[in-house]
A = this chain, B = another copy of it.
Amino acid sequence: MELWYTEEQTPNVRFSMRIKEHLYHEISPFQEIDFFDTYEFGRLFTLDGIIMVTEKDEFIYHDMISHVPMAVNPSIKNVLVIGGGDGGTVRELCRYKTIERIDMVEIDERVVRMCQQYFPQTACELEDERVSLYFEDGISFVKNSKTSYDLILVDSTDPIGPGEGLFTYDFYQDCFNRLTEEGILINQHESPYYPVNAREMVKAHKKIDTLFPVSMVYQFHVPTYPSGHWLFGFASKKFNPVNEIDFTKWNSLNLKTKYYNPELHVGCFALPNYVKELLND
């Protein structure tokens, strides 16, 4: 018997992984949650049939969402994570002893609880005493919060279903308002390759670009996401993440990373012409 998980990356493109075992299935009030064991990628976690995290390549996404802003401003103390239910982003943040507070707002508690059970590799630091979990809508959390953050990480799903409101102008405006004068916003920025993703990338960039003095995009390779070419947005009230960066402080922390390094940090902001043209269009 052969069992295959297949993701329709576009109506005309499919990506399939051979499955050892379908470990868990649940329909929460928000979405369909599944965990699998795969032959090539280890554990696999999907939401509504879309790949969120695999054991083999989660380090890439989580390195790039966390270490890029932390290297730009190693003095960051207060962090807000929107989404990120698998815990991988919080895991990386917890490696910085100088961070004092991490608020994580995940709409679906079932995702967190099931990742704690089936993805201990990523969900391993959610009990850290600096971490507060809020199981509520990130949009209203940001709108109503009175806290100031040095860093907001939007670790969201695609802009369909529960993630949709995390790609709106109003949400980015509320993030701007919650950030300190040195604040940085990192957002899941989709991909430039397939038109369905590229459209969302362009829309998100336009909204953020009108709000923040610094608004850039950086790229990395996530083989299990559509096209493997994925992006984060870097927006800031103050810091240019390439021209004004000094890695002395970050290097002195001696963090061992499997994907991120300072040369790659600078390199990942150098985008192909076709991506630059889409963003500047």
Identify the A interface with B (CB < 8 A): 4, 10-18, 38-40, 57, 59-60, 193-194, 219, 221, 223, 227-229, 257-261, 263-264, 266-274, 276
| Neighbouring B residues of A259 by C-beta, 8 Å | 272-274
11 contacts across the A-B interface (CB closer than 8 A)? A4-B14, A13-B15, A14-B16, A15-B15, A59-B274, A60-B272, A221-B229, A223-B227, A260-B273, A264-B270, A264-B271
A105 vs chain B, min Cβ distance (A): 30
Q: Smallest distance from the beta carbon of A219 to chain B beta carbons, Å? A: 8
List the B side residues contacting A271 at CB < 8 Å.
Answer: 264
Please pick, from B4, B264, B272, the residue contacting A272 in the complex, using a CB distance under 8 A.
Answer: B264
Give Cα distance in the complex from A69 to B189, angstroms: 32
Q: Is the CB of B273 within 8 A of A258?
A: yes
Closest chain-B Cβ to A195's Cβ sits at a distance in Å of: 9
- The residues of B that contact A193 with a CB separation of less than 8 Å are 57, 221, 223
A258 vs B11: C-alpha distance when bound (angstroms): 25
Query: Ordered nearest first, which 6 A-B pairs have the shortest CB separation?
Result: A228-B228, A267-B270, A267-B267, A223-B227, A12-B39, A263-B270
With contact pairs A193-B223, A229-B221, A272-B261 given, residues A11 and B16 touching in the complex (Cβ less than 8 Å): no
Bound CA span A4–B8, Å: 13
CB-CB nearest in chain B for A256 = B273
Q: Please, how many angstroms separate the alpha-carbon atoms of A129 and B267 in the complex?
A: 38
CA–CA, A18 and B15, complex, Å: 12
A262 and chain B: residue at smallest CB distance:
B270
A237 to chain B, nearest CB (A): 24
Contact B272 A258 (CB under 8 A): yes
Query: Given known contacts A223-B229, A228-B221, A228-B229, is B272 in contact with A10 (CB within 8 Å)?
Result: no
Q: Looking at A4, A11, A270, A271, which has the most chain B CB atoms within 10 Å of its CB? A: A270
Q: Which residues of B contact A272 (CB under 8 A)?
A: 60, 221, 258-261, 264
Contact of A273 among B12, B13, B257, B267 (CB under 8 A): B257
Given contacts A221-B272, A260-B273, 19 further A-B contacts (CB under 8 A): A10-B40, A11-B18, A12-B18, A13-B15, A13-B17, A14-B15, A15-B16, A57-B193, A60-B272, A193-B221, A221-B227, A221-B229, A223-B228, A257-B273, A259-B274, A263-B270, A264-B270, A264-B273, A267-B269
